[in-house]
Amino acid sequence: MAVTAESQQASLREPPSWRRTKNIIMTALMVFAFVLAIVPLVFVLITVVARGASIISWQFLTAPIPPATAPAGQGGMGPAIYGTLAITFIATVMAVPLGILGAVYINEYGGRGILARVVRFMADVMTGVPSIVMGLFIFSIYTLKFGFSGFGGALALACLMLPIVIRSTEEMLKLVPDALRQGSYALGATKARVTLTVVLPAAVGGITSGALLAVARAAGETAPLLFTILTVTSVNRNVFSGPNTSLPSQIFNNANSSYVGAQARGWGAALTLVAIAFILMIAARLITARFARYQR
């Protein structure tokens, strides 16, 4: 059958309209999915800012925690902020070096051996262990013997952070080109030196930003702290003995409260916490961007 000019023209036209429509509908659904995810985020953030901003003040950030019945303007979240900073700091100091070393083992020393594969798989699985289970674990193994303390909470948070740091560090180490290691070996460096003087410095940007994200996650966790620090309202500067408090713990308490003042303070604390998490996240992104430039 001869190909007529008309059928040639027809073949260059768009596909039949029902295929086009289906394509458009599907694309619209995908955009809708995105919107559906964004809307709650926007609402939460707006609400937190709206309800929390009015109560934030220097006094709020430093004043002691009043009883729940106190009206909105009174008191603040000082002890909770201190607790969050101190406990998260200790958790970071424990989890980050160990996490980096664990990733070094998996990527630099483990090779294709079965132990390294098991460790990597289990680190992955460990990222999925619920945070409350970490809290119960530290409760059983530490709090029962040593009592409530900020340190117990820090241990639980460290257990949470460890697998996250391991996995993100490992991804960064994998990106370091092998040519750099070979160059260092060829100069007579031991494996430890190759790792410490060439590999880790080459990956430091990614490792840091990964660690910051783990810190942000830990700072916002409540469940691991529930049974290990025993939320109190007075400030406890000694992180190693005696119950303590943290921003998430206070928010949890205040959310359950029916007093308006407590709820207002809860929003203020939520705003503070979200601000901390955001700052850490932005810092992580900035570091990633800066080091990507440096590495060419």
57 in contact with other proteins (CB under 8 A): no
Please choose, from the candidates 262, 270, 249, 253, the residue with its C-alpha nearest in 3D space to the C-alpha of residue 69: 262
Q: How far is the CB of 275 from other proteins (least distance, A)?
A: 11
Nearer of residues 93 and 125 to other proteins, judged by Cβ: 125
Question: Phi, psi (5° rounding) for residue 292?
Answer: -65, -35
Nearer of residues 53 and 196 to other proteins, judged by Cβ: 196
Nearer of residues 10 and 40 to other proteins, judged by Cβ: 40
| 149 DSSP β-pair partners | 242
CA dist., res. 147 & res. 242, Å (int): 7
Q: How far is the CB of 119 from other proteins (least distance, A)?
A: 4
Considering only 191, 234, 240, 290, the residue that binds other proteins (CB under 8 A) is 191
Considering only 1, 6, 145, 177, the residue that binds other proteins (CB under 8 A) is 177
Q: Quick one: which segment of 2-10, 45-53, 54-62, 68-76 binds other proteins (CB under 8 A)?
A: 45-53
In the region spanning residues 63 to 82, those forming contacts with other proteins, defined by CB under 8 A, are none
Residue where the block lists tokens 């798989």: 121
Q: Quick one: which segment of 1-9, 32-40, 71-79, 235-243 binds other proteins (CB under 8 A)?
A: 32-40
Contact indicator for 102, 240 with CB cutoff of 8 Å: no
59 in contact with other proteins (CB under 8 A): no
Q: Determine what percent of the chain falls in helix, strand and coil, rounding each to the nearest 5.
A: 75, 0, 25
CA dist., res. 150 & res. 231, Å (int): 10
CA dist., res. 225 & res. 235, Å (int): 16
Considering only 1, 6, 114, 296, the residue that binds other proteins (CB under 8 A) is 296
